[in-house]
Chain A
């Protein structure tokens, strides 16, 4: 199965019943598969007039209680940024798939990249936090799409599947389980204010059409949902909660794989570069090379770095000029070496071995 198809199959298994989007290479197969399959399960597929409308329709659908998603790539992702901020501010659960391609601008439509990792975290205006997963195989395109829906509903936050063209277009054999875990949105209890959050910092969801009479606005709002855009303390409290509900859970929801934790030389990866590192580890098993592979990239679980107490260097191959390397550097005293390889070609095992030797 192709990665993009596995993503769509994962979404369907997770109960996604609304897809709104706009065709863009190299993500289009996700939309095509949803267009074919959603009507058969009573869902809705709609091709909107642009990506701005795509994410807008997803947010609208989500408020009716539907699990909703869109899929795109670089230029479309840029167009979605304002409404991603709206989803954050209104705490709308939704899943956005970005099959990353080379940028900036139109860039390399058919080539793989990981250049949107910071845009996904910081791209909309204002302070906020989101959840982002990064699959490293076709199997994970399926599994992490399911997981994205559960995280989105649990935290009421836009959740991203930050894949890349290589994983999206790769074909691998996958195992599809009979059923997948499902975490429902916590419903709003009658009598509780719609944007009042308990200790978990996530308010109950007042689904449209169920009599809650909730006003949902992108303006800074109080617990009633009413606009109140000039109170410094109200705005500060709201934004701090929106960030804290995600960031304070970062160790609890962290998702990464550790190989050879006693290693001195450690690769840190996410997405398709992990496949080259796997090859290097396979070829040089005796050397006990470390590998930390993030399946969840945001919120960044810095404690994962402590899984390698003997680390003398973190080597970070990425399909960009060194984005996550910068984040890793922020959290460790161990030297961090970015290994950028972009333009569409993946690192070769020989390149990574050479980088490794330089640190021996």
Chain B
């Protein structure tokens, strides 16, 4: 695959900041989609509002850049009306878990045949760095100037509890693993949710002691624990560090799915 095949060259340069992790996730997603052998004509990218949601605008397929938080509801309409189309949703932590939280749990419950790639930068990047539902406790943002006082959402646990068929978490460091999991998600009938932690040097890292782009990526690498290892630690009665990031394919099951021809 080359960029020329899937990207809109006439839309470059893109709007992402230097060092942003979103491009990595777009690259991994397009690799996974290309590996599926899907045609551009039958693949639709849908998004809401935010940095992550600008991604479909750079991809040479039909795409719908919708209103804040509502991407999954729009995608549900597309998929139900024409199950022959492959529908992939790009979203972010604010778009999906704050304003779009209701649509998220109901799309999981319906187990509708979508693949959702969430670029979780733990901040509202587009609007200048406000706290989001995944901003860690104590983290600084423009709306949590004394450190966030709210506990953060675990998006994968949310998707698991709500009924998604496939749930996975990686980071912008884990390029190969992320691509493999997105590829697997694309092939699974039902709701596939892949969360990716991404660095946001401009609006998160800068305020939270990640002075360099790679500082936050290195943090993801150092704090990531495979889901299998986490299970083993639990079995052995050992503690999982509070700041651990559980990585890997967390749920893989076969609940009845909607939107499948």
Contact = CB atoms under 8 A, between A and B. Distances in A.
Contact of A213 (B60, B75, B79, B80): B60
A107 interface: no
Contacts of B57: 215, 217, 226-227
Contact of A17 (B40, B65, B66, B81): B81
Classify chain B: how many residues form its interface, as a range: 20 to 34
Contact of A61 (B63, B81, B102): B81
Contacts of A213: 40-41, 60-62
Interface string B51-68: 000001100111111110
Could you tell me the dominant secondary structure of chain A's interface residues? mixed
B64 A216 contact: yes
A234 interface: no
Contacts of A210: 41
B59 to A, nearest CB: 8
Contact of B62 (A49, A61, A82, A209): A209
Interface string A69-83: 000000000000011
Contact of A216 (B40, B63, B77, B102): B63
B78 A218 contact: no
A78 to B, nearest CB: 15
Contact of A49 (B41, B67, B106): B106
Contacts of B79: 60
B81 A50 contact: no
Contacts of B169: none
A80 to B, nearest CB: 11
Contacts of A17: 81
A212 B44 CA distance: 11
B210 interface: no
Interface residues of A, number: 42
Contacts of A46: 76-77, 80
B41 to A, nearest CB: 4
Given A18-B81, A60-B78, A217-B57, A212 B73 contact: no
A60 B73 contact: yes
A18 B65 contact: no
B80 A215 contact: no
A53 B44 contact: no
A59 B81 CA distance: 11
Contacts of A342: none
A60 B67 contact: no
A122 interface: no
Interface in A194-224: 206, 208-219, 224
A17 B73 CA distance: 17
Question: Which of B41, B63, B64 neighbours the largest number of chain A CB atoms within 10 Å of its CB?
Answer: B64
A52 B60 contact: no
Contacts of B78: 60-61, 63-64, 208
B21 to A, nearest CB: 21
Interface in B106-131: 106
> Nearest 9 CB-CB pairs, A to B?
A60-B77, A57-B77, A56-B73, A53-B73, A61-B81, A217-B65, A60-B74, A64-B82, A61-B77
Given A60-B77, A206-B62, 9 more contacts: A44-B80, A53-B73, A56-B66, A57-B76, A57-B77, A60-B75, A60-B81, A215-B62, A218-B65
7 contacts: A18-B81, A64-B81, A68-B81, A209-B62, A209-B85, A214-B62, A226-B57
